[in-house]
Structure 1
Amino acid sequence: MRQGTRSQKATFDSFFSDQAMGTNLFWMPDPTTDGWPMLTADGAPVLTAEGAPVLLSAQWLCLFGDAMPTETILGVRFQISFSVSVMP
């Protein structure tokens, strides 16, 4: 799990509040696809004319899970855990 700064915690708190305390739908990057390189049939990355890899983009429409997010304070860092439901 990733730990965040006080500023990152404030960003999450604001987002969660803006989502009506977790009751509104929101978009999030699909962690299984978004940002990964596009590959050819033989597994080589597809490159632009400049030689940069072409990255895939995908999003999930989500809703926060049944349980409220939990917060753990680790020194001056924060760890927030929560679940999401991916809409069909």
Structure 2
Amino acid sequence: MALIFISIIATIIVSSAIEEAVTGLDIKPVNPLQIPVPPRRREHALFRSSNFCDIFYYGIVVGTNSFCNFAASIDTYGGDDFGHDCNK
């Protein structure tokens, strides 16, 4: 069952990558407003410290939320015996 799922996902990934590559090589003319636009300044770039701080903060918040949901479900449905006699 898992092998079928992995093969389906691999087929979707490969076919979507080919489609994206082909549509990127289109023959449409370039918009004239795109060429004279200068590159972004360093303050407005993608890889800057404020973006990394935002990503780190988002990861902490999502991880904490996931752990709290896990702990609440173990406490509620697990009978509060997490880890007791688990190898017997």
TM-score (ref. length: structure 1): 0.23
Say which structure is richer in strand: 1
TM-score (ref. length: structure 2): 0.23
1 or 2 for the larger relative contact order (CA 8 Å, sep ≥6)? 1
